Amino acid sequence: MSSNDRPLSRKISRRDFLKVGALAGATATLAACAPKVAETTAGLPDLTSGNSIPLDQLIPAAQSEGQLTTIALPHDWANYGEIIETYKTKYNMTINELNPDAGSSDELEAIRANKESKGPQAPDVIDIGVGHTATAMADGLVAKYKVADWDTIPMKDPDGYWWAEYYGVLVFEVIKPAIANTPQDWEDLLKPEYKGMVAMAGDVLKSNQSVQTVLAAGLSRTGGDFEKAPEAGLQFWKEMNEAGNFIPVIADQGKIAQGETPIVIEWDYLALANRDALAGNPDLDIKVPTTGVLAGPYAGGISAYAPHPYAARLWWEFVMSDEGQLLYLKGYAHPIRFNDMAKRGVIPADLAAKLPPAEAYEKAFFPSVEQLTSSKAYITENWRKVVYGE
């Protein structure tokens, strides 16, 4: 797994997002333009209300369209291969898959370029970084729709133009037995026993994953006060650098395997995937910190110009259901409805056993688009000055 993050000003693919967190803040306003919604065909359910359509009506409507067009869903990302195949089989549908490695900006451009087209290059559904939702709404590219499980989704546009689907949280990825005592919280990383042992998975000036690593430490130190978190996070990493605990190298799976970075901070789905891939060489302990649990989500939406609007809505009803959310979890992408599902006891024991404890995620903080944008700017502008005194 390469750790050379591309500058966020360039287009990044979905696989690149695995390295950088893909929470690049958008500068567009959140005010949504009214998107064009296809007129309801006689005898088919109404699309204009934005409310969930009962499955006994939605399934036949989708099957009358017969096809769904997706974009930017590689099969090895978040278990999308199994999600796609399950949807196809469950509902007897065909899926046209566009450009699996497209980035979020590419997805939005595909909608713009095909507004008047109902052909195979017009996507029905999108899966974008939360930072891109502002642009999607401002440009009128998404239609509102509230799935049946809407009330259990903790991060969403109140009108239904987008919703978070899955997320990761930043964790401590610890090599065992090289590290005898796994750190439990951010302040533990300052202990002398971790001198020369703590690394990030990217460059703060290029990687949003590392920007969020600074922010999460600040949230822990301020007791969750977001306004003060960027400055507090920079002070934390200044202390880490002065103590000699911070290794200023970019950690990747190769460095972890060689023991060069005994403690790495990165998204849980990356850490858990590393654990599986390394298969005990070395053993990895994955720890969600006690405080400063920062979530990095991805957002779903429906094209306002979707050629297959019913198939699009059926897709999200499936993906956001317990069944679909559990398929995300199999790929270590944390379903956004995880807390609700855990409380209801629907997380299979064998799957839960591979994950950090469910209660560790209950205090996860989901920053808004505006918060992501402002904190990223502050942290990147002041990183070298504060941490290195330059």
Question: CB-based burial of residue 38 (10 Å sphere; 0-12 exposed, 13-18 middle, 19+ buried)?
Answer: middle
Per DSSP, the residues of 121-167 read: TS-SEEEEEGGGHHHHHHTT-EE----TTGGG-SSB-TTSS-EEEEE
Q: Residue 275 in contact with residue 172, Cβ under 8 Å?
A: no
So what's the pLDDT on residue 71?
Answer: 98
What is the Cα gyration radius of the chain?
21
Query: Which residues are CB-neighbours of 291 under 8 A, at least 6 positions away?
Result: 185, 186, 219, 220, 223, 224, 363
So what's the pLDDT on residue 107?
Answer: 94
Residue entry with tokens 């053993």 = 283
Question: Of 307, 297, 304, which is closest to residue 32 (Cα–Cα)?
Answer: 304
So what's the pLDDT on residue 118?
Answer: 87
CA dist 20 and 6 (Å) reads 8
10-residue mean pLDDT profile of the chain (390 residues): values are 31 44 34 40 86 98 97 88 97 97 89 93 93 92 98 95 94 96 98 97 84 96 96 98 95 93 93 91 96 93 98 98 96 91 92 87 86 90 95
Angle ∠(284,188,176) on CA atoms, nearest 5: 20
Q: Look at phi and psi of residue 362 and say left if phi exceeds 0, alpha if psi is from -120 to 50, else beta.
A: alpha
CA dist 338 and 326 (Å) reads 9
Q: How far is CA 147 from the centre of its chain?
A: 19
Q: Residue 199 in contact with residue 258, Cβ under 8 Å?
A: no
**What's the farthest any 2 CA atoms get from each other in the chain?**
71
Question: CB-based burial of residue 258 (10 Å sphere; 0-12 exposed, 13-18 middle, 19+ buried)?
Answer: exposed
What's the per-residue H, E or C state across 176-239? ECCCCCCCCCHHHHHCHHHCCCEEECCCCCCCHHHHHHHHHHHHHHCCCCHHHHHHHHHHHHHH
Q: What is the pLDDT of residues 1-14, one digit of tens each?
A: 333 332 233 344 55
> Which strand (E) or helix (H) includes residue 295?
strand 295-303
So what's the pLDDT on residue 42?
Answer: 57
SS3 category, 79? coil
So what's the pLDDT on residue 193?
Answer: 97
Residue entry with tokens 């042992």 = 197
Residue entry with tokens 């609007």 = 309
CA-CA distances (angstroms) from residue 366 to 212, 295, 336?
11, 5, 10
Domains and CATH numbers, the chain: 14-39+47-166+296-359 (3.40.190.10), 169-291+367-388 (3.40.190.10)
Looking at residue 245, the DSSP 8-state letter turns out to be -
Question: Of 213, 194, 269, 251, which is closest to residue 387 (Cα–Cα)?
Answer: 213
C-alpha neighbours within 13 Å on the C-beta side of residue 46: 5
